[in-house]
Amino acid sequence: MTDFTPPTRRQLLTMIGKAGGAAALYQAMTVLGHAAESQFRGPPQLTGARPGARVLVLGAGLAGMLAAYELTKAGYAVQILEFQDRTGGRNYTVRGGDTITELGSTQKVQFAPGNYLNPGPWRLPYHHRTVLHYCQELGVELEHFAQLNHNAMVHSKDAYGGKPQRYRDLYVDYKGHVAELLAKALNAGALDTAVTVEDKARLLEAMREWGVLDKAMTYSKGLKVGTLRDTLQTKVWETIGFYADHTMQTTMFQPKGGMDHIGKAFAAKVAHLVRLNTRVTRIAQDHAGVTVNWTDTQTGAAGQSSADWLVCTIPATVLGQIDVQVSDAKKAAIRALPYGNSVKIGLEMKRRFWETDYAIYGGHSFTDQPIGLISYPSGNWFGKGPAVLLGAYPFGTGDNPFSLGGYMLSAMSPEKRLAAALEQGSVFHPAEYKAEFLSGASVAWSRMPWILGCCAAWTEDSRAAHYQNLVSLDGRVVLAGEHCSYYGCWQEGALLSSLDAITRLHQRASAA
């Protein structure tokens, strides 16, 4: 028999949905618009720009560079203004020799040649068709990103005596406990009004197989790592359910050698159009065109650029502090949009002990400590020499313990972050973690001066009140980027939003 306190209905439904109902859950979510497939139907067919028509694009992240790429093909004269000394925006990879500049600190990255950290985007789901399309078109080599690894671990301070457990064991255990419970309810007739007699028999048989139950329909043959109470009270089930989310499902990909290969591939097409080190300070428009004021961040000189139309991909956190001549409703939308935070920490280790000593090849080990998780590299398996693993990745707006970790780590100096990451990550690999450590690097997104956050964090209420106002064409100005999409915090959203914005802009420009 299983040692358990009966879960509430809500807990039970959530557990079943997480464990066995991904497809059903997905259908329901799709109806609600939460897990809709990408609307990408191929690149836009924009042709026939008026001769001499000019477009200014603000920001050289993926949204800005894609806009420039497609608008140039359509015949527009495009210029991009970019704050930083590099293109790519959040599409960013750091390697040995790079400098990371945050508000209040700089770090010199010391990784060995070939090693890297993707501080921002790092994985591409199979259904992000826009990203995958442009990777193919621009020749970006993709490799497998190991997302779910049954042999990686889950750790909770309050469960299983605080000892990390292999995901595969917890998953079997979890299924067993839930299956036993459901079988009990079925056999007690508690669900007789919900299932037919035939379906009840089938469901019992399914539960026996799914939950590895014995003849008496109890989970006696299983591993029994812990109790159902362990799973419920510590919310380990949320970690288990993570992989059921539509955007977290396999297959996943990553660009070989670093995520910035996508940005570099776009830059190969549009870099000649970009003015780097150019901080936009004011955006104005009238019936004749748009005018943008900027400061050269290297010389301090002020400058001005003008055009007929403008695509602005500057994140709302920064745009909200700039004088922008748009409607009050759009200004309100820009200012109403909060951003979440995230910290990623790369730890270079002397050798791949997680592979040689633990048989872990890619995937994530989760913990309820502030670091959130550690993740093992998907590239160069079996490689000799130093390798970089992801030593922390808390994420969100700080409304739960997991996302609070991002704020805790970003409040620390880079040195203290490394010490915290080493201490907390040691729970998974106590003998090796500190002993094999060579060097580390971190990015706290709330401290990156050109974005001051990680990604837009829409709520249902803020979307209802402001989304249409944010994305609508305003005279000669349109906004684009991750924050102007339903695919928040994905490159897919940045690209889709860009295609949508330039298609509408082209229609207006053609009609003007």
Ligand X SMILES: Cc1cc2nc3c(=O)[nH]c(=O)nc-3n(C[C@H](O)[C@H](O)[C@H](O)COP(=O)(O)OP(=O)(O)OC[C@H]3O[C@@H](n4cnc5c(N)ncnc54)[C@H](O)[C@@H]3O)c2cc1C
Tell me the β-bridge partners of 293: 282, 304
* Residue 280 within binding range of ligand X, rule CB under 6 A: yes
Toward ligand X, which CB reaches closer, 119 or 164?
119
Kindly state the tokens that stand for 500: 């949508």
Stretch of 27-35, 82-90, 236-244, 355-363 contacting ligand X, by CB under 6 A: 82-90
Toward ligand X, which CB reaches closer, 57 or 207?
57
Measured torsion, CA atoms of residues 487, 234, 425, 354, in degrees rounded to the nearest 10: -80
- Min separation Cβ 83 and ligand X, Å: 4
* 296 φ/ψ angles, rounded to the nearest 5 degrees: -75, 115
* Residue 116 within binding range of ligand X, rule CB under 6 A: no
Stretch of 76-84, 108-116, 198-206, 375-383 contacting ligand X, by CB under 6 A: 76-84
- Min separation Cβ 315 and ligand X, Å: 5
205-234 residues near ligand X, rule: CB under 6 A:
none
Position among 38, 79, 84, 305 found at the interface with ligand X (CB under 6 A): 84
Is the preceding peptide bond at 47 cis, omega within 30 degrees of 0? Answer: no
User: How far apart, in whole angstroms, are the C-alpha atoms of residue 250 and residue 118?
Assistant: 19
Please state whether beta strands 363-367 and 373-376 pair in parallel, antiparallel, or not at all (unpaired): antiparallel
* Residue 91 within binding range of ligand X, rule CB under 6 A: yes
- Min separation Cβ 61 and ligand X, Å: 2
Per-residue CA distances from 197 to 178, 186, 200 (Å): 21, 10, 5
Kindly state the tokens that stand for 398: 């700080």
Identify the CA nearest to 391 among candidates 435, 423, 345, 357: 345
- Min separation Cβ 498 and ligand X, Å: 7
Toward ligand X, which CB reaches closer, 6 or 449?
449
Per-residue CA distances from 496 to 2, 109, 273, 501 (Å): 49, 33, 21, 9
* Residue 481 within binding range of ligand X, rule CB under 6 A: yes
Toward ligand X, which CB reaches closer, 234 or 305?
305
* Residue 490 within binding range of ligand X, rule CB under 6 A: yes
Identify the residue whose tokens are 């812990």.
226
Handedness of CA 402, 115, 423, 105 (dihedral sign): negative
User: How far apart, in whole angstroms, are the C-alpha atoms of residue 94 and residue 465?
Assistant: 38
Position among 7, 20, 61, 379 found at the interface with ligand X (CB under 6 A): 61
* Residue 90 within binding range of ligand X, rule CB under 6 A: yes
* Residue 402 within binding range of ligand X, rule CB under 6 A: no
- Min separation Cβ 163 and ligand X, Å: 29
User: How far apart, in whole angstroms, are the C-alpha atoms of residue 348 and residue 418?
Assistant: 11
Toward ligand X, which CB reaches closer, 91 or 439?
91
Site string for ligand X, 122-141 (x = CB under 6 A): xxx-----------------
Secondary structure of the chain: what % helix, strand, coil (to 5)? Answer: 35, 20, 40
Per-residue CA distances from 365 to 191, 362, 404, 502 (Å): 37, 10, 18, 41
Identify the CA nearest to 81 among candidates 263, 266, 278: 278
Identify the CA nearest to 483 among candidates 470, 499, 502: 470
Site string for ligand X, 39-58 (x = CB under 6 A): -------------------x
* Residue 69 within binding range of ligand X, rule CB under 6 A: no
Site string for ligand X, 313-352 (x = CB under 6 A): xxx--x-----------------------x-x--------
Identify the CA nearest to 498 among candidates 30, 124, 78, 36: 78
Kindly state the tokens that stand for 380: 């160069």
Position among 40, 69, 76, 83 found at the interface with ligand X (CB under 6 A): 83
* Residue 417 within binding range of ligand X, rule CB under 6 A: no
- Min separation Cβ 406 and ligand X, Å: 9
Toward ligand X, which CB reaches closer, 55 or 58?
58
Binding footprint of ligand X on the chain (CB under 6 A): 58-64, 81-84, 89-91, 120-124, 279-280, 313-315, 318, 342, 344, 445, 450-451, 454-455, 481-482, 489-494
